[in-house]
């Protein structure tokens, strides 16, 4: 999803890029080689928002201000696989709203399938780790699909099967506000169910039955603990970071990191700058943000995406203005590695991966787009992570959870099917 407000990167220009990185060494060259050798997967990119734009060219090395993922950048970044998000802002929870969300989701699925079909030598749809590996061997990049927000399911559990058949292998239960499935971390009105709704409990069971991973990024803490309680398969956070470092409600506390690990799951690190490293204090900016939130009756910038159409457009324009007035420095690749260090310390090396959220507002100093992903591996090697560790971070952990979700599928009774 798109975050303009906290993404002033473009305003800073390219001056910051790589400024914090040390001079390349021989071991950096080896790290670069290692990056090419390990299977790399990023579990969250909002590229489909570009795919639906008229005239967008996936084969072009686009200006990173316009697109942070295209075919040249995938190649340069040594990225073997990516989950493209079928993202949906939360709209009205009415039969008409749900029907419109379903139509919009189907349109995005179609755009993803069309993009893959249009580039058959470069891309292929993947739905399992084994398919991902096969696709890589054939010299292609694997495109997985995840749904961001349960909104397009509406109240119809049967739609999960339809989305699964279209390739979706995870669904983020909610986005910036509560929906029919659960409480969000950032709803301006606070919790509605104290976790999962009864329908949300059924949705988790149906996702388990299908073998679709349950994604708790964006959910409230209470939803997170409910999901751990009811899910038969380990779960993921497709794009989240550690709250101990950046204290935002949609990051995960240390207790949540430990609980996720105990349940066998994985947190895929979001590289969205303000989640990776907190914004430096700025009283004037804080006051402006507060005034903005009060004006639009919201608690968090993510809530803008739940405003109805004309208001949303105006609020987004004001957000852009605010970002221009109060530019902030980007977090660095080193900050991202600090997040990985922290998660490894708290949850263990088997429970962390990468979910960059590129094309959704992400940009770091030294990692402007997916084409610069080798810089992250270089930093991890500098910090002493072994080849085996790096394999786990880049795909091993995620694929373990994905296989566990597949396994839970065959074990789950068909009686749990949706209605
Ligand atoms: Zn998101």
Per residue in 276-299, pLDDT (tens digit) is: 999 888 899 989 999 999 999 888
Spell out the per-residue pLDDT of the chain, length 419, in tens.
Answer: 444 443 333 333 333 334 444 577 778 999 999 999 999 999 999 999 999 999 999 999 999 999 999 999 999 999 999 999 999 999 999 999 999 999 999 999 999 999 999 999 999 999 999 999 999 999 999 999 999 999 999 999 999 999 999 999 999 999 999 999 999 999 999 999 999 999 999 999 999 999 999 999 999 999 999 999 999 999 999 999 999 999 999 999 999 999 999 999 999 999 999 999 998 888 999 899 999 999 998 888 888 888 888 888 999 999 889 988 988 899 999 999 999 999 999 999 999 999 999 999 999 999 999 999 999 999 999 999 999 999 999 999 999 999 999 999 876 665 544 44
C-alpha 110 to ligand 1 mean position (Å): 21
- Do residues 394 and 373 lie in contact, with contact meaning Cβ atoms separated by under 8 Å? no
Residue 346 three-state SS:
helix
Angstrom distance (rounded) from CA 296 to CA 304: 8
Q: Is residue 183 part of a domain?
A: yes
Quick one: tokens of 128?
A: 């399992």
What pLDDT, on a 0 to 100 scale, did the predictor assign at position 305? Answer: 85
Angstrom distance (rounded) from CA 330 to CA 344: 23
Q: Is residue 267 part of a domain?
A: yes
C-alpha 241 to ligand 1 mean position (Å): 12
Spatial neighbors of 233 by CB under 8 A, at least 6 apart, are 208, 211, 213, 214, 401, 404, 405, 407, 408
What pLDDT, on a 0 to 100 scale, did the predictor assign at position 412? Answer: 63
C-alpha 361 to ligand 1 mean position (Å): 9
What pLDDT, on a 0 to 100 scale, did the predictor assign at position 12? Answer: 35
Spatial neighbors of 131 by CB under 8 A, at least 6 apart, are 124, 142
C-alpha 85 to ligand 1 mean position (Å): 9
C-alpha 131 to ligand 1 mean position (Å): 26
What pLDDT, on a 0 to 100 scale, did the predictor assign at position 414? Answer: 58
For 149-225, list the strands marked E by DSSP: 168-172, 213-215
Q: Is residue 374 part of a domain?
A: yes
Q: Is residue 4 part of a domain?
A: no
C-alpha 344 to ligand 1 mean position (Å): 22
C-alpha 48 to ligand 1 mean position (Å): 13
Distances (CA, A) of 170 to 44, 192, 207, 237, 361: 10, 24, 8, 10, 21
C-alpha 276 to ligand 1 mean position (Å): 14
**How many domains is the chain partitioned into structurally?**
1
Candidates 323, 333, 414; CA nearest to 374 is 333
User: Taking the CA atoms of the chain, what radius of gyration do you get in angstroms?
Assistant: 20
Give me the residue label for tokens 């950032």: 186
What pLDDT, on a 0 to 100 scale, did the predictor assign at position 26? Answer: 77
Q: Is residue 388 part of a domain?
A: yes
Domain that holds residue 346: 25-281+329-411
Distances (CA, A) of 248 to 7, 277, 304: 15, 10, 17
C-alpha 175 to ligand 1 mean position (Å): 7
Angstrom distance (rounded) from CA 234 to CA 236: 7
What pLDDT, on a 0 to 100 scale, did the predictor assign at position 22? Answer: 59
C-alpha 301 to ligand 1 mean position (Å): 12
Residue 314 three-state SS:
helix
Name the percent of the chain in helix, strand, coil, to the closest 5: 50, 15, 40
Residue 307 three-state SS:
coil
Residue 298 three-state SS:
coil
Angstrom distance (rounded) from CA 259 to CA 266: 10
C-alpha 411 to ligand 1 mean position (Å): 31
- Which element (helix H / strand E) includes 57? none
C-alpha 183 to ligand 1 mean position (Å): 15
DSSP string, 333-344: HHHHHHHHHHHH
C-alpha 25 to ligand 1 mean position (Å): 36
C-alpha 138 to ligand 1 mean position (Å): 31
C-alpha 69 to ligand 1 mean position (Å): 16
- Do residues 146 and 402 lie in contact, with contact meaning Cβ atoms separated by under 8 Å? no
Q: Is residue 371 part of a domain?
A: yes
What pLDDT, on a 0 to 100 scale, did the predictor assign at position 250? Answer: 97
CATH classification at residue 270: 3.20.20.140
Q: Is residue 85 part of a domain?
A: yes
Q: Is residue 275 part of a domain?
A: yes
Phi-psi region of 378 (alpha: psi -120 to 50; beta: other; left: phi over 0): alpha
C-alpha 148 to ligand 1 mean position (Å): 7
């Amino acid at each position: 999803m798109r975050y303009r407000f906290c993404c002033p990167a473009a305003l800073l220009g390219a001056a910051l890029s790589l400024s914090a990185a040390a001079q390349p060494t021989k071991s950096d060259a080896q790290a670069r080689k290692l990056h090419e050798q390990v299977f790399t997967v990023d579990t969250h990119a909002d590229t489909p928002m570009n795919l639906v734009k008229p005239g967008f060219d996936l084969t072009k090395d686009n200006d990173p201000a316009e697109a942070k993922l295209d075919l040249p950048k995938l190649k340069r970044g040594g990225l073997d696989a990516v989950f493209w998000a079928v993202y949906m802002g939360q709209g009205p929870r009415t039969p008409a709203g749900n029907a419109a969300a379903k139509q919009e989701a189907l349109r995005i699925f179609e755009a993803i399938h069309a993009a893959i079909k249009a580039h058959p030598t470069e891309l292929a749809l993947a739905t399992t780790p084994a398919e991902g590996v096969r696709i890589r061997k054939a010299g292609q990049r694997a495109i997985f699909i995840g749904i961001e927000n349960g909104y397009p399911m509406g109240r119809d559990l049967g739609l999960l099967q339809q989305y699964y058949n279209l390739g979706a292998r995870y669904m983020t239960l909610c986005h910036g506000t509560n929906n029919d499935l659960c409480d969000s971390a950032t709803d301006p009105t606070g919790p509605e169910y104290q976790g999962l709704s009864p329908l949300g409990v059924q949705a988790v069971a149906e996702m388990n039955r299908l073998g679709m991973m349950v994604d708790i990024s964006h959910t409230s803490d209470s939803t997170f603990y409910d999901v751990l309680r009811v899910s038969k398969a380990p779960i993921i956070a497709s794009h989240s970071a550690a709250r101990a470092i950046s204290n935002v409600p949609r990051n995960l506390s240390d207790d949540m990191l430990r609980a996720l690990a105990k349940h066998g799951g994985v947190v895929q690190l979001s590289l969205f700058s303000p989640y990776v490293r907190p914004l430096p204090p700025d009283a004037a900016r804080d006051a402006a943000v507060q005034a903005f939130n009060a004006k639009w009756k919201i608690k968090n910038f993510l809530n803008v995406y739940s405003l109805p159409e004309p208001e949303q457009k105006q609020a987004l324009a004001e957000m852009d203005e605010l970002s221009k007035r109060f530019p902030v420095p980007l977090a660095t690749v080193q900050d991202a590695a600090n997040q990985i260090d922290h998660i490894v310390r708290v949850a263990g090396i088997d429970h962390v991966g990468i979910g960059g959220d590129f094309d959704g507002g992400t940009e770091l100093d030294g990692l402007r787009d997916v084409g610069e992903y080798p810089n992250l591996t270089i930093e991890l090697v500098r910090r002493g992570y072994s080849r085996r560790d790096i394999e786990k971070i880049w795909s091993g952990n995620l694929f373990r959870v994905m296989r566990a979700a597949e396994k839970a599928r065959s074990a789950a009774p068909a009686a749990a099917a949706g209605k």
